[in-house]
C-alpha cells in the first residue's frame, strides 16, 4: 500500500488519497520530471476476486474520448497492480449529491445527455462494443465547466456477439441492472441505460437506491418538484425487463432532448428544484412510506464470519436468521463453511421459519446465486473462518473473504480472551473492514470496554444464549443493534416489522 510522499517507480510522487474501495486505493500523484498530475489506481492482486483487473487497461488502451481517462503506464509488484491514468479535476457527483446545491433538474438533464453521448461512443466501438456496467455517482466527475467525466472501468466488458451470458456476476447494488446478477443474464447496452436511470434517481431524490429499503419509489413521491417528464424518463430506464427500457443510448438521448425542449417551453418547471430530501419534511415523508407496509425489493445479504474457529460464527448466524424470521421477515440461511453441525440443525431451523440451505461442491457459488434469486428479503451467510495467518506470518484469505466485502452488512465474530486478540489484529488493517460490525462472544465487560476504546468499528458484546433458536430479551436487543443498518423500522412493542411477508 502506498503512503503520501512515496515515489512510485522513481517517477510519480503520491500527493493524496482520492478514493478507497474493496479492491484497492486511488491516489493523486505528481510526475516528478514534468510536474503534471495523474491518478494512480492501486489494485490488490493478492486477493481472490472474480474480476480480471488486467481487462481495464486493455479496454482503456482502445478508447479515445475527452470524457474518458487515458491509460499512461502500468506497474506491477508482488501484491499490487498500479495503473496510471488521466486525473480529472472537479467534484465527484457523489459529493455533489450530498451537498445538493448542484442537483437541479437542469443540471440532471445536462449531465444525463453527456453520459448518453459517452455511452453512444462506447456502445459503437468496433469490432466489440464496450459495456460499462458500473454507472453510479461515485464514478462520475463534474469539472469546473459542468462537463461530465466517466472514470473506473474496473468491471467494464467487451460485448462479443454470440456469448450467451456474462462470465461474472458483479456490479454495484442499487445501480446494477438485474441481468448483471442473473445466471443466464447477458449485459448489453440496455444494462448501462439502467445504471443511468438509477444514477439520475439518486441525483434528483437524494436517496441512494443501493441502501435500504432497496426500492425505487416514484420520483415525484419523494420530490414533487421534479417534472413528470423526468420522472417518466427515469422510470423507463430502470425497468426490470431490458425490453421495456430505452433500447439504446441514442434513443435515451433523443428522449432527453425532447424533455429539455418541453421544459423550456413550460412555465410549470422551475430551473432550480426545492429538494425536500434531507429536510425534516423529507424525513417524515420517507418514514411515512416505510411505515406504509410496502415490501422491500431485493435480497439483503448479511455475511457472518469468524476470526478463528470456535468463536461462535455459526451460532451467531443462526440466531440472526431466527431473529429476522421471528419478526416476520422472509429469511434464508446459507452455510458456506462446510460445518457438519449444520446437518443436525436443519429441522430446527425450519421450525423457526428460516429456510435452510447448504452449499454444494466446495468452491461453487451455484447455491448462493440460486438463493439470491429466490426472492428472500434477507439472506444470512455463515462463512466460518475466512482468513488465517500462515506459518510465515502472511494473512491468507479464502475465496469466501470476497463475500464479506460484497455483503450489505458484515458481522465479524471474535473471541473475548486476551490471547484471541492476535486473531483479530490482521482484520483491523483491512480497508474493507472499516464498515464491518465486530461482535465479541460473551466477554468480561471490563475487558470488552477496553478493547472497544481501541477499535473505531461498531463493537457489541454477544449476550450469553446457549440456544441460537431462542431469542431472549437480551439477544433481541443485541440483534436489533447489530442488524440496525439493514432493518426496516419496527414497532417496539409488537416487535413486528414494517414490511409484510
Query: What string of H, E and C letters represents the secondary structure of 115-126?
Result: HHHHHHHHHCCC
> Which one has a higher pLDDT value, 264 or 71?
71
What SS3 state is found at 383? strand
Q: What are phi and psi of 42, to 5 degrees?
A: -110, 120
DSSP assignments along 198-212, one per residue: HHHHHHHH---TTST
Query: What are the grid coordinates assigned to 26, written together?
Result: 486511488
Q: Which helix (H) or strand (E) holds 149?
A: strand 148-150
Phi-psi region of 142 (alpha: psi -120 to 50; beta: other; left: phi over 0): beta
What SS3 state is found at 405? helix
> Which one has a higher pLDDT value, 88 or 340?
88
Least confident of 4-8, 165-169, 212-216, 427-431: 165-169
Least confident of 200-209, 225-234, 378-387, 488-497: 488-497
What SS3 state is found at 439? strand
Q: Which residues contact 279 (CB under 8 A, 6 or more apart)?
A: none
Least confident of 73-87, 306-320, 447-461: 447-461
What SS3 state is found at 283? helix
Torsion sign over Cα 130, 54, 181, 204: negative
pLDDT averaged over every residue in the chain: 78
pLDDT above 60: residue 271: no
**Percent of the chain having pLDDT more than 90?**
31
Residues 55-68, mean pLDDT to the nearest whole number: 78
Helix locations, 217-340, DSSP H: 219-222, 228-237, 249-264, 280-290, 313-326
Q: Which helix (H) or strand (E) holds 311?
A: none
β-bridge pairing 24-31 and 37-44: antiparallel
Tell me the per-residue pLDDT of 84-134, one tens digit each, with 9 for 90 and over: 989 999 999 999 999 888 999 999 999 999 999 999 999 998 888 899 988
Q: What are phi and psi of 458, to 5 degrees?
A: -65, 120
Tell me 351's DSSP state: H
Tell me the per-residue pLDDT of 380-430, one tens digit each, with 9 for 90 and over: 999 888 777 655 556 677 778 878 888 889 999 987 666 666 777 777 777
Q: What are phi and psi of 306, to 5 degrees?
A: -120, 145
β-bridge pairing 80-86 and 71-76: antiparallel
Q: Half-sphere exposure of 352 toward its Cβ, with a 13 Å CA cutoff?
A: 27
Least confident of 191-200, 256-265, 478-487: 256-265
What pLDDT score was predicted for residue 501? 34
Expressed in angstroms, the distance from the first to the final Cα of the chain is 46
pLDDT above 80: residue 213: no
Ordered structural domains, the chain, with CATH: 7-86 (3.30.200.20), 92-290 (1.10.510.10), 300-486 (3.40.50.300)
For the ranges 232-241, 371-380, 420-429, the maximum mean pLDDT occurs at: 232-241
What pLDDT score was predicted for residue 456? 62
What pLDDT score was predicted for residue 169? 47
Helix axes 228-237, 105-123, angle to 10 degrees: 30
pLDDT confidence of 346, banded at 50, 70, 90?
A: low
Amino acid at each position: 500500500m502506498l503512503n503520501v510522499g512515496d515515489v512510485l517507480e522513481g517517477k510519480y510522487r503520491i500527493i493524496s488519497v482520492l478514493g478507497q474501495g474493496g479492491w484497492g486505493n486511488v491516489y493523486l500523484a505528481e510526475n516528478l520530471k514534468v510536474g503534471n498530475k495523474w491518478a494512480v489506481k492501486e489494485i490488490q492482486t493478492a486477493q481472490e476476486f472474480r474480476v480480471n483487473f488486467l481487462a481495464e487497461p486493455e479496454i482503456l488502451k482502445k478508447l479515445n474520448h475527452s470524457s474518458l481517462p487515458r491509460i499512461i503506464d502500468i506497474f506491477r509488484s508482488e501484491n499490487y497492480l498500479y495503473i496510471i491514468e488521466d486525473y480529472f479535476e472537479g467534484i465527484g457527483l457523489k459529493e455533489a449529491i450530498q451537498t445538493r446545491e448542484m442537483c437541479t433538474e437542469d443540471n440532471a438533464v445536462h449531465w444525463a445527455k453527456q453520459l448518453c453521448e459517452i455511452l453512444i461512443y462506447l456502445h459503437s466501438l468496433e469490432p466489440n462494443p464496450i459495456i460499462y456496467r458500473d454507472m453510479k455517482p461515485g464514478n462520475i466527475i463534474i469539472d469546473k465547466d459542468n462537463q461530465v467525466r466517466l472514470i473506473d472501468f474496473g468491471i467494464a466488458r467487451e460485448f462479443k456477439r454470440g456469448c450467451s451470458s456474462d462470465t461474472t456476476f458483479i456490479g454495484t447494488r442499487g445501480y446494477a441492472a438485474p441481468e448483471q446478477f442473473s445466471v443466464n443474464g447477458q449485459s448489453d447496452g440496455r444494462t448501462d441505460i439502467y445504471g443511468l436511470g438509477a444514477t439520475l434517481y439518486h441525483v434528483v431524490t437524494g436517496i441512494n437506491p443501493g441502501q435500504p429499503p432497496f426500492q425505487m419509489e416514484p420520483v415525484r413521491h419523494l420530490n414533487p418538484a421534479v417534472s413528470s417528464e423526468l420522472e417518466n424518463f427515469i422510470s423507463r430506464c430502470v425497468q426490470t425487463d431490458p425490453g421495456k427500457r430505452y433500447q439504446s443510448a441514442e434513443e435515451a438521448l433523443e428522449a432527453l432532448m425532447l424533455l429539455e425542449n418541453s421544459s423550456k417551453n413550460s412555465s410549470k418547471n422551475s430551473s432550480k428544484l426545492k429538494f425536500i430530501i434531507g429536510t425534516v419534511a423529507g424525513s417524515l415523508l420517507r418514514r411515512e412510506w416505510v411505515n406504509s407496509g410496502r415490501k422491500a425489493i431485493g435480497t439483503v445479504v448479511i455475511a457472518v464470519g469468524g476470526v478463528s474457529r470456535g468463536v461462535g460464527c455459526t451460532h451467531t448466524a443462526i440466531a440472526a436468521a431466527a431473529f429476522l424470521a421471528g419478526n416476520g421477515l422472509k429469511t434464508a440461511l446459507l452455510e458456506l463453511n462446510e460445518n457438519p453441525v449444520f446437518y443436525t440443525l436443519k429441522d430446527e431451523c425450519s421450525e423457526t421459519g428460516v429456510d435452510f440451505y447448504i452449499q454444494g461442491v466446495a468452491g461453487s457459488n451455484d447455491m448462493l446465486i440460486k438463493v439470491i434469486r429466490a426472492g428472500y428479503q434477507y439472506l444470512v451467510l455463515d462463512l466460518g473462518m475466512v482468513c488465517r495467518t500462515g506459518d510465515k506470518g502472511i494473512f491468507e484469505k479464502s475465496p469466501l473473504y470476497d463475500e464479506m466485502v460484497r455483503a450489505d452488512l458484515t458481522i465479524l465474530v471474535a473471541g473475548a480472551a486476551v490471547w484471541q486478540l492476535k486473531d483479530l489484529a490482521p482484520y483491523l488493517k483491512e480497508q474493507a473492514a472499516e464498515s464491518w460490525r465486530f461482535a465479541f462472544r460473551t466477554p468480561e465487560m471490563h475487558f470488552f470496554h477496553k478493547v472497544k476504546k481501541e477499535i473505531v468499528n461498531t463493537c457489541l458484546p454477544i449476550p450469553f444464549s446457549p440456544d441460537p433458536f431462542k431469542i431472549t430479551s437480551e439477544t433481541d436487543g443485541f440483534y436489533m443493534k447489530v442488524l440496525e443498518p439493514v432493518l426496516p423500522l419496527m414497532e417496539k412493542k409488537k416487535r413486528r416489522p414494517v414490511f409484510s411477508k
